[in-house]
Amino acid sequence: DWVMGDYIAEAVAAIRAQVGSDDVILGLSGGVDSSVAAALIHRAIGDQLTCVFVDHGLLRLNEGDMVMDMFARNLGVKVIRVDAVDDFMGKLAGVSDPEQKRKIIGKEFVEVFQAESKKLTSAKWLAQGTIYPDVIESAGKGKKGAHTIKSHHNVGGLPEDMHLKLLEPLRELFKDEVRELGVALGLPREMVYRHPFPGPGLGVRILGEVTQKAAQLLQRADAIFIDELRATVASERDAAAGLCAEADVGKTWYDLTSQAFAVFLPVKSVGVMGDGRTYENVVALRAVVTSDFMTAHWAHLPYELLGRVSNRIINEVRGLNRVVYDVSGKPPATIEWE
């Protein structure tokens, strides 16, 4: 639509005026905000933008390939993909305290990003996908003001000696405007309307010690859950059973939930397969409905859907033999398990 077209033209002109012929770096997380910022800045300055994507092994299944396909292949954005899986797994070995895990992941992310950024010696600007609610939030907390670097996006402070200036082209936009902008810039709708994903990623969805094996099992279980939520639409029968409103019939269960994911439990239970006994891990499924993520209800998903997800996980993911569904509200439970 032409209103968005006008907005893009203005934003592009503003970015060009601001950076001139300077080079810009941006930490691409795969999240909506950094992705839309990258697409917009690339529209404005093309090859003057270099994105750095850190793969720590705690992302959704195939997330790294998806990011490279979308940005490098389809949009022609310069993206440096850093494979830091071993670094992260090494630092996380033996650590099971949730807050310590968060700290380690955040710190390691900053270190990897900084090391990569330092190689791009021509860069004068650090771009970030800061949006209006982040500006309000950091001002409200009386932090270092509006230019505070978003800590939960994990792109922490850069060394002073790099003297990078901040470029934040989404600072005046609300989340829904950022999404519309992303679609107008050519990002796939299903990417732009994804459920939120926490900065520490699967690190806080693998309870206890994080291992690469647990991460790989969890990625596959999670992908099956999300696949089925996307593939299943609410039926008249679901509405009649009170699981959704009449107006929601025909929408996918992915769109009818605010956030959904699997959690890896460091617990083994006994199962049977063929003639043999199995002794393998349990995953929990979590799906919530919320408007602000401060409070949330557990999603009343249809039993058939939950059954299908459970069967597929147990049949397709060797190493998992039991699936449970989390029926806790927030409060008192939080959305994430750690």
Interacting residues with ligand XMP (CB under 6 A): 102, 152, 196, 198-200, 259, 293, 330, 334-336
Q: How far is the CB of 63 from ligand XMP (least distance, A)?
A: 15
Q: Which helix (H) or strand (E) holds 327?
A: none
Q: Which is nearer to ligand XMP, 122 or 334 (CB)?
A: 334
Q: Which helix (H) or strand (E) holds 250?
A: none
215 vs 57: CA distance, rounded Å: 7
Q: Which helix (H) or strand (E) holds 283?
A: strand 276-289
* Paired tokens of 5: 């077209």
Q: Are 48 and 145 in contact (CB under 8 A)?
A: no
Q: How far is the CB of 278 from ligand XMP (least distance, A)?
A: 31
Q: How far is the CB of 202 from ligand XMP (least distance, A)?
A: 11
Q: How far is the CB of 181 from ligand XMP (least distance, A)?
A: 21
Q: Which is nearer to ligand XMP, 175 or 330 (CB)?
A: 330
Q: Are 28 and 71 in contact (CB under 8 A)?
A: yes
Q: Say which residues have a Cβ less than 8 Å from residue 35's Cβ, sequence separation at least 6.
A: 28, 70, 71, 129, 182, 187, 191, 192
| Nearest to 179, CA basis, from 191, 169, 168 | 191
Q: Are 265 and 304 in contact (CB under 8 A)?
A: no
Q: Are 288 and 298 in contact (CB under 8 A)?
A: yes
Q: How far is the CB of 87 from ligand XMP (least distance, A)?
A: 19
Q: How far is the CB of 133 from ligand XMP (least distance, A)?
A: 13
Q: Which is nearer to ligand XMP, 134 or 238 (CB)?
A: 134
Burial 278-311 (b: 16+ CB within 10 A, else e): bebbbbbbbbbebeeeeebebbbbbeebbeebbe
Q: Which is nearer to ligand XMP, 186 or 196 (CB)?
A: 196
Is there a cis peptide before residue 331, judged by omega within 30 degrees of 0?
yes
With tokens 């954005």, the residue in question is 77
Q: Which is nearer to ligand XMP, 18 or 96 (CB)?
A: 96
Q: How far is the CB of 248 from ligand XMP (least distance, A)?
A: 21
Q: Which is nearer to ligand XMP, 5 or 329 (CB)?
A: 329
Q: Which is nearer to ligand XMP, 27 or 198 (CB)?
A: 198
Q: Which is nearer to ligand XMP, 42 or 102 (CB)?
A: 102
The burial of 133, by beta-carbon neighbours within 10 Å (0-12 exposed, 13-18 middle, 19 or more buried), is given as: exposed
3-state SS class at 49: strand
Q: How far is the CB of 60 from ligand XMP (least distance, A)?
A: 13
Q: Which is nearer to ligand XMP, 312 or 330 (CB)?
A: 330
Could you tell me which residues are beta bridge partners of residue 41?
none
